[in-house]
Amino acid sequence: MPTLADKRILLGVSGGIAAYKSADLVRRLQDQGADVHVVMTAGAREFVRPLTFQALSGNPVHTDLLDPSAEAAMGHIELAKWADVILIAPASASVMARLAGGMADDLLTTLCLATEAPVLLAPAMNQAMWRNKATQANAQTLRSRDITLLGPDAGSQACGDVGPGRMLEPLAIVDGLIDFLRPAQILAGKKVAITAGPTREALDPVRYLSNHSSGKMGFAIAAAAARAGAEVTLIAGPVRLETPADVTRVDVVSTSDMLAAAEQAADDCDLFIAAAAVVDFRPAVVADQKIKKEDGNDRDVLSLVKNPDIVATIAGRRDRRPFVVGFAAETENVIEHAKLKLARKNLDMIVANDVSAPEGGFNSDHNQVTVIDHSGEQTLPAALKTELAAELIARIANKAFSGN
């Protein structure tokens, strides 16, 4: 998966000759999977036409704060909320001064004040302007407000001067942004095993019992754990999902296959997360041949036996017991049922979700969950499964490994 996949980047372009390089920057950000909206200052529009950025980004370019038609399409507050990150490249001395002064005198500065997203600047200006005490003081002020400066570079400048103030090359800006967004390596050195997806129990050579689990939540958790620095084994039932980057995948079909893979992974892991929707019962006998409906098979065709509980088996270990997290998909009395499961299965933490809610559940990309452990419970805001996964990994790591 590209590093900036699904990231919504608001690229602010201010006045400076380096603005032409920002056209390439749009492409480089898109190469990493980002969705880019461009905001141009009046100065930037003297150097490059908005149409260039519109064509490259595939989105309308935003220029005016008080343009009713633009506001009707995506208002400035909406745009500020849309962004996961605001990147200003080039950031002129004037933009830096206005941001340091807390001004909101055009669309870009207003967005920077209105957003809760992180703001990064790639300064670009003449070397004397960069060195000027006013600019240096502004840079200091901006850093103290958690605005990140990427560059500037030093070298020959468009005006013929040589010195600091060149904008970083687009690829270096993208690298800086990726580094900035890289999650803290809170699971560095930890081994994590995760079950995901459904299991499948054969009735005969052509039929099986299973469920609607998509595996999305478990795969998102595996991806988030890997991004947090863990060595991840993902034990996946039959699902149509790509293996996340830096994750070792073990494909299984039946519950007993999943149990065997889980036991093996748990022998050498620090954290076990059971996100699979395991089939609770399997046929007592798997027929060698297709079960026929003609043979007087009118009722009681199947006899089922209970499957082993994978997460309870791992949590019940005396030796080599990892920190164990389960999931509870419920349709009523969600918290109450989840708490009972936490105790009955001897888990350290359980993630409860209401699968009957319109947003969330099996096949949705969204989910809303409550995290419960032995010291309390907390309901997290509804979010994309990918975002939720990162939040869950942060909470699990905190609980499991830092004693909080």
Contact footprint for ligand C5P (CB under 6 A):
195, 255, 274, 276, 278, 280, 307, 309-311, 326-328, 341
Distance separating alpha carbons of residues 192 and 326, to the nearest angstrom:
13
CA distance 297 to 262: 37
Residue 80: CB minimum distance to ligand C5P, A:
38
- 159 is annotated as an active-site residue: yes
Catalytic residue among 1, 77, 159, 340: 159
C-alpha 213 chain-centroid distance: 20
Task: Tell me whether residue 63 or residue 195 sits nearer to ligand C5P (CB atom).
Answer: 195
Question: At 26, is the secondary structure helix, strand, or coil?
Answer: helix
| DSSP single-letter state for residue 322 | P
Burial class (CB within 10 angstroms; exposed 0-12, middle 13-18, buried 19+) of 62: buried
CA distance 43 to 97: 15
* Most distant pair of Cα atoms in the chain: their distance: 94
Q: Which is nearer to ligand C5P, 130 or 327 (CB)?
A: 327
Going by the DSSP 8-state scheme, the letter that residue 62 receives in this structure is B
Strand 369-373 and strand 366-367: pairing? unpaired
Q: Which amino acid is at 239?
A: V
Least distance (Å) from ligand C5P to the CB of residue 303?
Answer: 18
Q: Give the shortest CB-239-to-ligand C5P separation in angstroms.
A: 14
Residue 52 exposure: Cα atoms within 13 Å on the Cβ side = 17
Kindly report whether the peptide bond that precedes residue 90 is cis, defined as omega within 30 degrees of 0: yes
| Cβ-count burial 63-95 (b if 16+ within 10 Å, e if not) | bebeeeebbeeeebeebbeebbbbbbbbbbbbb
Min dist CB 30 to ligand C5P, Å, is 37
Which one-letter amino acid corresponds to residue 100? A
Query: Which of 191, 194, 253 has its CA nearest to residue 219?
Result: 194
| Choice between 25 and 252, CB closer to ligand C5P | 252
Residue 322 CA to residue 273 CA, distance in Å, equals 10
- Torsion, CA 326, CA 329, CA 330, CA 335, rounded to 10: 40
Cis amide bond preceding 152, omega within 30: yes
What's the CA gap between 13 and 27, in Å, rounded?
14
Q: What length is written for the chain?
A: 404
Cα separation, 334 vs 323, whole angstroms: 23
So which residues are the catalytic ones? 159
